[in-house]
Amino acid sequence: MDEKTLQKYIDAGKIASEALHYGKSLIVKGAKVIEILDAVEEKIVELGGKPAFPAQISLNEFAAHSCSDLNDETVLSDQIIKLDVGVHLDGFIADNALTVDLSGEHSDLVKASRDALNNALKIIKPGVTLGEIGGIIHDTITNYGFAPVKNLSGHGLGEYQIHVPPSVPNFDNGNENVLKEGDVIAIEPFASTGAGIVQESSPATVFTLTNDSGVRDPISRKVLIELKKNNGLPFAKRWLEKEFGSAKTNFALRMLKRANCVEEHPPLFDQNRGMVSQAEHTVIVFEKPVVTTWYEE
């Protein structure tokens, strides 16, 4: 990796971790979810970055991909709150997440995913196998008496790409492929009091543009032109609603789905409705790995 690229990853990580912890400071009982998400995304821009994906807040049994549309009235009370924030600089991405327990009853669940992440980071270097990383995550979480979420995993980060190989499992899946120097990966253990398997809910409010032909009506064309500016990174329905209004957005999304132009990322929840925590950092693999999203509290 050249110096310039490394510096972009490091700068993106600094913005991502600052925005994440700014968001954490807003997570209090009575706060509106949509206002926190808007504030986090504004903070990213203020710090000189761009959202690599819409900021997301997933509550309780929801592990990931919950994102306010413009009508969302959800207010925080005594939930378990996962905040997931991604930033890019010229396509170089940092992805990080944390969990806040406002219930006061799940501090061990929060610790389990955080410890699993920290233990995984301790063994990151060129040559470690993906299965070994998953094994550490699994053992840490099960030692707390919880289940790692097996069908969610960490991932490589590419230029303008959030999910590229390698997939970093949250249990030892026997994968003997090794990390290489210069790999950029997000590690994200999830701990659950339930099944440790998530399934899709609906409706999706986060999408990725995967194909830009097939819609002809003027509204969808206009939305499509706006979406192409995003360079293939995920977008929020809310972003479009702010620009085009809800009615036109709903219409355009329906047309774009029908023409197979967008991939949906629906909310994911634990199938036994267990409570879920998450912790995530982005790390660049070296003999001395660089955790780009590290944050000194």
Binding residues vs Mn ion (CB under 5 A)? 84, 95, 97, 186, 188, 280
Name the residue nearer to Mn ion (CB basis): 158 or 259: 158
Q: What backbone phi and psi angles, to 5 degrees, belong to 204?
A: -75, 140
Nearest-approach distance from CB 32 to Mn ion, in angstroms: 22
CA distances from 163 to 61, 168, 244, 295 (A): 23, 11, 29, 23
With H, G, I as helix, E, B as strand and everything else as coil, classify residue 1.
coil
Name the residue nearer to Mn ion (CB basis): 119 or 250: 119
Residue 44: its H or E element: helix 33-46
Name the residue nearer to Mn ion (CB basis): 155 or 252: 155
In the residue annotation, 163 being an active-site residue is answered as yes
Nearest-approach distance from CB 90 to Mn ion, in angstroms: 19
Catalytic residue, chosen from 18, 41, 84, 101, is 84
Nearest-approach distance from CB 268 to Mn ion, in angstroms: 12
Name the residue nearer to Mn ion (CB basis): 61 or 84: 84
How far is it, in rounded angstroms, from Cα 239 to Cα 15? 21
**Residues 77/54/39/80 CA torsion (nearest 10 deg):** 20
Nearest-approach distance from CB 120 to Mn ion, in angstroms: 13
Nearest-approach distance from CB 84 to Mn ion, in angstroms: 4
Catalytic residue, chosen from 139, 163, 172, 212, is 163
Name the residue nearer to Mn ion (CB basis): 79 or 99: 99
In the residue annotation, 84 being an active-site residue is answered as yes
Asked if the peptide bond before residue 289 counts as cis, ω within 30 degrees of 0, the response is no
In the residue annotation, 264 being an active-site residue is answered as no
Which residues, 6 or more positions from 227, have their beta carbon under 8 angstroms from its beta carbon?
Answer: 209, 212, 235, 240
In the residue annotation, 155 being an active-site residue is answered as yes
In the residue annotation, 95 being an active-site residue is answered as yes
Nearest-approach distance from CB 5 to Mn ion, in angstroms: 20
Residues of 10-46 as b/e, b for ≥16 C-beta within 10 angstroms?
bbbbbbbbbbbbbbbebbeeebebbebbebbbebbee
Asked if the peptide bond before residue 203 counts as cis, ω within 30 degrees of 0, the response is yes
Catalytic residue, chosen from 11, 18, 188, 241, is 188
Give strand ranges (E) for 90-141: 92-101
CA distances from 154 to 74, 137, 186, 294 (A): 28, 11, 5, 17
Residue 106: its H or E element: none
Name the residue nearer to Mn ion (CB basis): 252 or 269: 269
Active site positions, annotated? 84, 95, 155, 163, 188, 280
